[in-house]
Structure 1
Amino acid sequence: MIHHDTQAALDRLMRFLSIEGVTGEEKAIAEDVAKALQEAGVPAEAIAYDDANTRIPVPTQTGNLIVKIPGRGALGNAEPIMFMTHLDTVPLCAGAKPRITGDKIVSGGDTALGGDNRTGCAVLVSLAAELAKQNLDHPPLVLVFCVREESGLWGARHINLEMLGPVSMGFNYDGSRPADVVTGAVGGDGWSVEIFGRASHAGVAPERGISASMVAAMALADAQANGWFGKVVKGDKAGTSNVGTIAGKDGRGAGDATNVVTDYCYVEGESRSHDMAFVDAITDAFEAAFVKAGKALVSSEGKTARVVFSRQRKYHSFSLDRDSAVVRRGIKGVEAIGLTPNPRLVNGGLDANYLSLHGIPTVTFGAGQNEAHTVDEWVDIPAFQNACRLAIALATAR
């Protein structure tokens, strides 16, 4: 019978939810997680930070927290297994005041809660505590608490693999239902375009101007009309796209006044699919639409806009074989705690995308998060407790 101290696990979760640590500013929560691990019996020398923050191209307070727990008993010499989660929350969680209402944890204010992903942090610390407290046999374990997941999977992308060491498989906690065995996720591009038009007096000589905002509108209308916006289906290929930002210089709105033709516009969006070639196709379609629109709008002097399109591969898709060792272990773990496994793919990026790209096949499970990234976010306490039991089952399976 797999069991754990449910009150201690809940207390850890409430403790972590109360600590601010939005993406890029994870120092305080990382330090408290490290402290909680030591309180659970993990030696200080087993806890360290990697140098991922020195390679992440945006300011990041600390590297990934990596914890090494030696194997014990009959499983002590088995291949190491990784458990991972992320430390950061979205900015909407700043100032969260968690409170328990029945079987739920909710935010007491006008912020999101931070269950994404403080639930995962509490699961991993509770796993370490229960293995020590119950003196359970387990293989060598590596616990990883990543930074900057919410702003681009940066911690997982730049994790120090030498410090991580050899691991045979990984289990990631990030989601709602523990019974969901997430075996794959989409890949995605982030793209942006700068449109350089020409200003002119909109009331006196609008024909001399080149409206950057109109070029953007024409391009986006063209992409939508040709089926490249939103849910994208082309034959047997499927994906999604979105336009997230339309702005001007220095974060201001595009344009300066209604009587001036807009001379600059910045547009930012994304493309996603489980097929990386189709990710490229979606992004290509947006680039073609902007280039076409830039040439189509011609001033009275025969001039056109200059369009600069950029793309960045945000994460690669992956899909694990249902018969692979990590998926089989995940399914057996869910069954061991009395739930029905639900193997599935998801349409969001995960730290598991990068770990799988790094050569570590990683399955993701939920830990009770619901309505993440909104002020209505809540944590399902029974699901969180099942996630803790599942971690023990995964770590101790023979």
Structure 2
Amino acid sequence: MPPATATTPSEIKFDTTAAVQRLVRFLGINAITGHEAPIGKELVAALKEVGVPAKAISFDDAHTRIPEPTPIGNLIVKLPGTGKKSAKPILFMTHMDTVPLCAGAKPKVVGKRVVNELEGTTALGGDNRTGCAVLVTLAAELIKQNLPHPPITMLFTVREESGLFGAKHLNPADLSGPTVGFNFDGRRAADVITGAIGADRWTVDIRGKAAHAGVAPEKGISATMVLALAMAEVHAGGWFGKVVKDGREGTSNVGWVGTTDGKSAGDATNVVTDFVHVKGESRSHDAKFVRDITAAFKAAFTNAVSKVKDHEGRTAKVKFTSRLDYVPFRLKPDAPVIKLAEAAVRAIGLEPNLRVTNGGLDANWMVKHGIPTVTFGAGQNEIHTVKEFVDLTEFESGCRLALALATAE
């Protein structure tokens, strides 16, 4: 028999039962962001089970460059081309970690959904074990059906949920030169995400001076008051929440107020708070505007320092630190990767919906690395909540889409 090809919806077939079993298997692995070793081990085992040679599977050293503790690097799988010799390499990718809320999830299939037996207590982890199952299913079907395909690199990144670190610290040379990338991380297979927002993350350390708040408050320097005055300034200036300035748009937020070791700021109501650690973010599709929003927060904290003094005129000290979290991108509508994506979505009987997102994706860094990358969904729903579930109809569409992309002529 000649090798099978995939050109129409009816011809794109795969073992749906095995794919769903694979998904449930991965959902049951407790491996949140920063603790990816168990899911990395399970992915390697699953890839070998479907026929991927051990020599084609490796972990990179990105974890040695990630500033947060990370046990393993990105998982990279390379499948040699079996089609035309002139075919250019392509990349399929996803992330292997989940948010901490997923710890201890127990998946079960109910009709055309995978739900959590512990509904109401943990999230499920469809973000992004759906992507993991799609990629392993792609490898399984390419091998089992002997489907012709170009050289394929599969990438399973670490620490996506805690800052896109795996993709950021990837060495692009480890991927063997893919010309386009397809990232599976979302809800609907027909949604083709062609652009995403950029973001800064920033921290502020405010060091004041403790004093008895009832006996001699004037001898203290309240770090809490410095925070309050700074936040009042950014709010009054229109830099907090949804930010619109001269036709440019973005967002900002403060997400953590406490100490560096996770405790509450301040020790007691009768003690002037001497230290506050603040974490926040700035986002925009305009890279310069991201920096402008961050600069507004830095200026507000600097200004607030001079307004809070002790009885001798001394002020608090503020250390403001920011870092680029990820860069925004927007691919042109006629980019080859988008044309390939649109054709593949239509090949599985759906109509492509091109859109941009206000969330960060590993694709942000892949584009920065020089690999034009679009993102699709594979059944995620109510992610990062205790109501999370996976829509198996969309998951199966995601698997078909991956096959259509890999076997397109």
2:366 is matched with 355
Runs of 5+ unmatched residues, structure 1 = none
Deviations 1:135-190, CA, capped at 9 Å, x for gaps? 21110000011111111111111113222121101000011111110011111000
1:94 is matched with 103
Work out which of the residue numbers 175, 191, 212 in structure 2 matches 1:180: 191
SS at structure 1 position matched to 2:213: coil
Asked if residue 277 in structure 1 is aligned to residue 281 in structure 2, the reply is no
Residues 109-120 of structure 1 correspond to what in structure 2 (within 5 A)?
Answer: 109=118, 110-120=121-131
Cα root mean square deviation, aligned: 1.1
1:251 is matched with 262
Amino acid at match of 2:182: F
Q: State the shift of 1:254 in Å.
A: 1.1
Q: Does the 8 A contact of 1:76 with 1:137 survive in 2?
A: no
Work out which of the residue numbers 46, 58, 75 in structure 1 matches 2:68: 58
Asked if residue 68 in structure 1 is aligned to residue 71 in structure 2, the reply is no
Give the distance between the partners of 1:31 and 1:94, measured in 2 at CA: 17
Deviations 1:203-261, CA, capped at 9 Å, x for gaps? 12212221100110111121112111111111210011110110135322111211111
Asked if residue 337 in structure 1 is aligned to residue 348 in structure 2, the reply is yes
Work out which of the residue numbers 344, 367, 375 in structure 1 matches 2:386: 375
Asked if residue 211 in structure 1 is aligned to residue 228 in structure 2, the reply is no
Give the distance between the partners of 2:209 and 2:260, measured in 1 at CA: 14
Give the distance between the partners of 1:128 and 1:77, measured in 2 at CA: 21
1:294 is matched with 305
Give the distance between the partners of 1:256 and 1:127, measured in 2 at CA: 54
Q: State the shift of 1:134 in Å.
A: 1.7
2:177 is matched with 166
1:38 is matched with 48
Cα distance, 1:76–1:124 mapped onto 2, change above 3 Å: farther
2:316 is matched with 305
Q: Does the 8 A contact of 1:76 with 1:140 survive in 2?
A: no
Q: Does the 8 A contact of 1:71 with 1:77 survive in 2?
A: no
SS at structure 2 position matched to 1:132: helix
Amino acid at match of 2:132: C
Give the distance between the partners of 1:283 and 1:210, measured in 2 at CA: 25
Cα distance, 1:13–1:76 mapped onto 2, change above 3 Å: farther
Asked if residue 148 in structure 1 is aligned to residue 159 in structure 2, the reply is yes
Q: State the shift of 1:306 in Å.
A: 1.1
Q: State the shift of 1:301 in Å.
A: 1.5
Q: Does the 8 A contact of 1:23 with 1:147 survive in 2?
A: yes
Asked if residue 28 in structure 1 is aligned to residue 23 in structure 2, the reply is no
Give the distance between the partners of 2:281 and 2:245, measured in 1 at CA: 17
1:396 is matched with 407
Mean CA deviation greater in 155-164 or 144-153: 155-164
Asked if residue 104 in structure 1 is aligned to residue 113 in structure 2, the reply is yes
Amino acid at match of 1:114: G
Asked if residue 81 in structure 1 is aligned to residue 87 in structure 2, the reply is no
Q: State the TM-score, normalized to the length of structure 2.
A: 0.95
Residues 321-336 of structure 1 correspond to what in structure 2 (within 5 A)?
Answer: 321-336=332-347
Q: State the TM-score, normalized to the length of structure 1.
A: 0.98
Give the distance between the partners of 1:347 and 1:76, measured in 2 at CA: 39
State, as a whole percentage, how many aligned pairs show the same letter.
60
